[in-house]
């Protein structure tokens, strides 16, 4: 149940982020939900491998290479999800940042981060 809630929050955040960025387009709410699922899978399985493989480069760039990994994840999601397009690398970077901010704001508003004892 918690996973579905986070998935819906991510989908809403993706719609909000795409609304504000001219280089990003999401066709429908179903596309946004599918995008949230694909991003969750890529962030869970592919991103950790990329981080481990690029540790030396990440250290040399003082962690800035992690932004490149985020851009790659967004671009791969755009290749996988029909109806989701990202025009360029800069749009993917801004989408990644805005998606993180929107998700954090929505979760704080609905109290998703609260622990249940």
Range of the domain at 103: 2-110
Q: Are 93 and 67 in contact (CB under 8 A)?
A: yes
As given in the structure block, the two tokens for residue 80 are 């996988």
Question: How many domains does one find in the chain?
Answer: 1
Half-sphere exposure of 3 (CA within 13 A, CB side): 4
pLDDT tens digits, residue range 3-59? 898 999 999 999 999 999 999 999 999 999 999 999 999 999 999 999 999 999 999
Domain-located, residue 40: yes
Domain-located, residue 37: yes
pTM over 0.85: yes
d(CA 21, CA 102) in angstroms, rounded, equals: 13
pLDDT tens digits, residue range 53-107? 999 999 999 999 999 999 999 999 999 999 999 999 999 999 999 999 999 898 8
Domain-located, residue 94: yes
In SS3 terms, 76-96 reads as HHHHHCCCEEECCHHHHHHHH
For the four alpha carbons of 39, 44, 49 and 52, in that order, the dihedral sign comes to: positive
């Amino acid at each position: 149940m918690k996973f579905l809630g986070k998935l819906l929050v991510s989908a809403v955040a993706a719609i909000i982020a795409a609304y504000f960025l001219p280089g990003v387009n999401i066709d429908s709410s179903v596309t946004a939900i599918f995008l949230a699922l694909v991003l969750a899978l890529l962030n869970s399985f592919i991103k950790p491998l990329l981080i481990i493989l690029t540790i030396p480069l990440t250290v040399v760039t003082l962690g800035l290479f992690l932004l490149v990994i985020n851009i790659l994840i967004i671009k791969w999601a755009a290749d996988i999800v029909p109806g989701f397009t990202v025009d360029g690398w800069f749009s993917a970077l801004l989408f990644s940042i805005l998606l993180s901010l929107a998700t954090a704001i929505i979760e704080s508003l609905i109290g998703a981060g609260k622990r249940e004892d």
